[in-house]
Amino acid sequence: MFNKANSPSTPTQPVPAGAATRAVIPPIILGVLALVSAVEPLSINMYLSGLPQLGRDLGISQAGAQLTLTFFLVGMAVGQLVTGPMSDARGRRGLFRGGVALLVIATVASALATQAWMLFLARFLMGAAGGTAVVLARAVAGDLAKGPELARVFSLLQLLTGAAPVVGPIIGGLVVDGVGWRGVFWVLAALNLVMAIGVWLAIPETLPHEERSSGGPRRLSSAIGLLLRDRAYVGFTVGFIFSFSTMFAYVSASPFLLQDYYGFTPVQYSIIFAVNTTGMFLVALLNARLVRRIGALPLAKIGNVVLLTAVLYLVVVSLLDASRWFLLVGLFVVVASMGVNFANNSALAISRAGALTGSASAFMGAGQFIVAGLLSPLVALAASLGLSSPVSMTVVMLATALLAAAGVWGGAKALKREPAQ
């Protein structure tokens, strides 16, 4: 892969990525990156309770209302695919600033939309801008830190943004009850404005000119091809994408499974969701403390084994139609294990990228959201074949967990084959 220079830096110059193995990212930058990382969960979770009202106001069906989520996810994937490679050639700061500015504008447009097509377009732009921001946040972190430090940073980012999936639906529900679904987008616009100000004021250029890709799109495409031929990068990226997919299968199916099939009330469902996310939060905190001593690779292996074991347990519980409480135990372990899997697989993959950190981050993020967008119909398809709701969900989770395992262990095998440096 590409190696980074180790030239010294000054406060007025781009931060050399090669110094990152020793550097600790300043708290102000880490805080801004954490805010950016919260864009995706808040933009998805906060307005879900307002979808029925949104559909009635715009005169569209339930499926049409849910398309606002699909357009956002597609935008996230497109934004990351386009911006990641572009940032490797042009630097991070300018694209980062443009992305967060567009995010604020698109969020305001979502709040003001009076027709369905306006909201679809605004949500797509919101996703594209959000994808730009998220991929550049990971790229900036990858420029500033490497190895165990990068895994620690990703754990802290996950830790700092871990509250978003817990408080987002609660805040969104209160806003929808009080002022309607448009109010959610006004709240998001205010949060995004604060985040944009932080990016403009606190994030430096982290990719020096001498380390950028050059020679136009053809040369950049060649470099990306080289990146994708790195078996370790591909393996850990697959591990990251399909670990996320396993959790998203739970997220997309659980409102119907836990409330309609198992009989939990909406309040009880919110508590269950919060407890599971708290488990992920605490495990991410533990991972941040352990990764410097144990290393990202051993922790990634442990996290993957825990994930696969928990999913197999869920399959058995579902097939036996056991008590709902047995299912909740398995779901808690699956979600909690993401505190290890997300951070370490991300760090292991991005650490392989060298000068192509932006591209590496883009492929990870785009793959994450493309696969997530396909999961909901897969769960529904499994149910249409006559499988019960628990079995439908856990079968999809088993398939994605097995793919995650293939990625993690394939990446580890590729690293083992490399000669010692």
Residue 70 has what pLDDT?
78
pLDDT reported for residue 129: 94
pLDDT in tens, 194-236: 999 999 998 988 888 877 766 545 555 666 677 788 899 999 9
Report d(CA 326, CA 94) in Å as an integer: 50
Provide the pLDDT for residue 66: 67
pLDDT of the residue at 98: 94
Residue pLDDT, tens place only, 139-163: 888 888 777 777 777 777 766 666 6
Contact 363, 84 (CB under 8 A): yes
> How much is the average pLDDT of 31-46?
84
For the segment(s) 225-416, the CATH number from 1.20.1250.20, 1.10.443.10, 3.90.550.10, 3.40.605.10 is 1.20.1250.20
pLDDT for 116 equals 92
Domains 25-203 and 225-416 share a fold: yes
CATH T-level topology, domain 25-203? Growth Hormone; Chain: A; (1.20.1250)
Two tokens, residue 31 = 């805080």
pLDDT digits (tens, 9 = 90+) for 101-133: 999 999 999 999 999 999 999 999 999 999 899
pLDDT tens digit string along 318-360?
999 888 899 999 999 999 999 899 889 988 988 887 767 767 7
Q: How far apart are CA 394 and CA 407, in angstroms?
A: 20
Task: Kindly state the DSSP code that residue 215 receives in the 8-state scheme.
Answer: S
- Asked whether 360 and 346 are in contact (CB, 8 A), the reply is no
**Range in 2-16, 62-76, 79-93, 234-248 the model is least confident about:** 2-16
For the segment 355-413, what is each residue's pLDDT rounded down to a tens digit? 677 677 777 877 888 887 777 667 767 766 777 778 888 998 999 999 999 999 999 99
Q: What is the residue-averaged pLDDT of the chain?
A: 81
Contact present, 140 and 262 (Cβ < 8 Å): no
Domains of the chain, by residue range, sit at 25-203, 225-416
Residue corresponding to tokens 């899997």: 341
How far is 47 from 157, CA to CA, in rounded Å?
23
**CA gap 260, 254 in Å, rounded:** 9
Own/partner contacts of 323-328, CB < 8 Å, gap of 24 or more, are 324/258, 324/262, 324/263, 324/264, 327/262, 327/390, 328/272
CB 339 within 8 A of CB 237: no
